[in-house]
Amino acid sequence: MSTLVHVGTPPEKSNCWSCVELRFHNFADLSTQFCRSPNFECLGYRWIVVLWPNGGHPGMTSVYLWCRGDIDADVSTTSSEGLEDIERAPLELINSLDIDLGITVRGSDGKEVANKVTIFAPDEEDDTDTDGFVDFAPREDLLNACVNGSLIVEVRMKERSPVAVPPPPEFIHKNPINKNILKLFGDEDTADVIFEVTSSGSDNNDDTNKKSKTVVTFHAHRVILQDGAPFLAELSKAGSSGEGITTVSITGVTQDVFNHVLFYAYGGNITEDDMKTNTKDIINAADKYGTVGLKLEAEEYYTKTTTLDINNVLDNLLYADSKNLALLKEAVMDFILANGDDVMDKVSFSNVLGDIVKDLLAAVARGKAKSSSSSSRDTDNYNNMRVATLRKMLEEKGLEVDGSRESMIALLKESTNQDNGEENDD
């Protein structure tokens, strides 16, 4: 008989097989009568194995496992009872078992002759508490596997691991305020502002060569514009009479671009295709109407997608300076430093404002700081920081992120001084 030895305390439900070896001696002399084993213990219960040498079908041997109850059950330990006299475990206990069952017969060489595995699930239809295999193996094969006339049967059992039930799909309800505001975009029933955007186009009259004008109306809400597009909110206040809907005329911007600005103010996102088609127009309109987030997104897209060269570096520098595009200006400065000799030979800076020189000096300082050892760096030296870092610090403090490098640094220094002053007061 195989013996399982535990070192330490096993888990309540172990995945290891418990194995009991049964020897049916003089197996060749067993013909039609059943043969049952004595009681044996496994997994905290008492069991017997019942073997029919000529079982369900001609030439086949049947093997069944019966449960007699838990180990404290007072049941007979002999094998002399008839089948009708064997006391069995209550069906309530049987139905509560969740056990994998395996029965194996090996030959004298240790090789498997027969092996069957199933789930211990007694047949409820005929109210029996047995389980096993009606056609376990051909009797002839088992006779050949006997060792000194004895049929060696290994009975293996283990408690089944519970089937892992996948957790329900995670659903976390999000605050719907953003969706609700976006639903108001273009809603005529609740709007208190109408923007009339006028754009010019050819009327295809070759004789007069006149330009036709198209007016498209956009319905909006002043309370939403106050944060999303504050300059548009101011325009609507200026034209308000205090009652009814205010109408504001918009010129100098295309209808598509104005739609993007207004849509963004309501929490919408601009697609990459639209950004690609109208990048500079979106920057200009967002800067004009105070839609800071859209301006920064468009600036970042423009900076990433624009390939700087000798021919366009000055135009981009002047454009960045005129619109306070600090990120684009930083990229231009990096290009100038990396291509200094070529830029000095081919680019004229006669029309460049003096403030731009400060940005160039800051780029030089960053280059020096990068080449110096990390121990000598000053983490409070805003002049050496990248624009993205400055903007992140400003946003964390709840300060304005749209501005030149100088204005951003000034805000950070002022905020730091205020913080230090409050600490000294404490």
Q: Model confidence over 162-205: pLDDT tens digits?
A: 767 777 777 788 888 888 999 999 999 999 999 999 876 544 55
Angle at 152 between CA 146 and CA 156, to 5 degrees: 150
- Produce one character per residue of 392-421: b if its CB has 16 or more CB atoms within 10 Å, e if not: ebbeeeeeebbbbbeebbebbeeeeeeeee
Closest CA to 129 of 185, 171, 172, 73: 73
pLDDT tens for each residue of 246-257: 899 999 999 999
pTM (two decimals): 0.56
For residues 388, 392, 395 and 400, what is the CA-based torsion angle, rounded to 10 degrees? -30
What is the C-alpha to C-alpha distance for residues 91 and 96, in angstroms, rounded to an integer? 8
Cβ count near 76 (within 10 Å)? 14
pLDDT at 373: 47
Residue 193's DSSP bridge partners are 220, 246
Q: Render each residue's pLDDT in the chain as its tens digit; 426 residues.
A: 455 566 766 555 556 788 899 999 988 887 667 788 888 888 888 898 988 888 778 889 999 888 888 887 776 665 555 666 677 778 788 888 888 889 999 888 888 899 998 888 765 554 444 578 888 999 999 999 999 999 999 999 888 777 677 777 777 888 888 889 999 999 999 999 999 998 765 445 555 555 668 899 999 999 999 988 999 999 888 766 666 788 999 999 999 999 999 999 999 999 999 999 999 999 999 999 999 999 999 999 999 999 999 999 989 998 998 999 999 999 998 898 888 788 878 887 776 666 666 666 666 666 666 555 444 444 567 877 889 999 999 999 989 898 888 889 999 999 888 877 766 666
Q: Is the dihedral of CA 27, 18, 118, 104 positive or negative?
A: negative
% of the chain beyond a pLDDT of 90:
36
